[in-house]
Structure 1
């Protein structure tokens, strides 16, 4: 059974022009798409933009979907491609990351500081490492499912996870010094 249930009837209705049916697909899969996009993007707001672009693309290309029962995987693959296209200017992203890193956290405790350090470290990974980690470690997808979504060989996904974990560990240990 596909994640999120069977979407075949909704997809058939959406293909026939039903905005309501597509809206139900967005309701059903929107959070997964936004979560994945936010993990891929260095800035959560950029992740929301990526997810929105992915849904727009999915709406316009719904006729290309060959296996309606795999809508969520197809959608996450679109999110992945949109994130890789890098629609946001690197200079703007860099300025935001610098501004975020320079903000001194208020006395929110170690949990807040640790979360900010983890977000900064994750942003320094390659997009492939972030994608694999976001899907497998944070999203609960299998390595095989992540390989299909990311359109990468299974071994590459496993490698990206291993290297990403090692790099995160290295970056987070450097925060203690």
Structure 2
């Protein structure tokens, strides 16, 4: 029997059991599929280590158990990282609350091309030459495009700026 034949026999015989094992322990169907795939990938790579007969199932359970443990550790690390990032982002917010709804509305009213270059310049801190590399084209064209986008944004902000005049009682 070739290694491929042996693997296929193990897969056919024990797939249902490994599927049930993983489905009962994983948090989603995607995680279940990942556990099954990783378990049988390990069996394929280490086919010489897989015991004969019914002991193969126990070996596969052990592999699946370790795959699940690795999944949980990964989820835990991602949760800790996400929490740390949330804290860092919260710390970066301005202390003084500023109503930027009119700025967001003006930005959203711009054409996509303008929003793209403004976002690259303001949010990512790119220069005209760097923007040119991202969007394609020359540095001169990118700078001109950025200049026009800034002018259009300024015009929209002027139109949408909250009124600063106070109405007096007559």
Give yes or no for TM over 0.5: no
Greater Rg over alpha carbons, structure: 2
Compare relative contact order (CA 8 Å, sep 6+) and give the higher one, 1 or 2. Answer: 1
TM bin (shorter chain): 0.3 to 0.5
What's the TM-score, normalizing by structure 2?
0.40
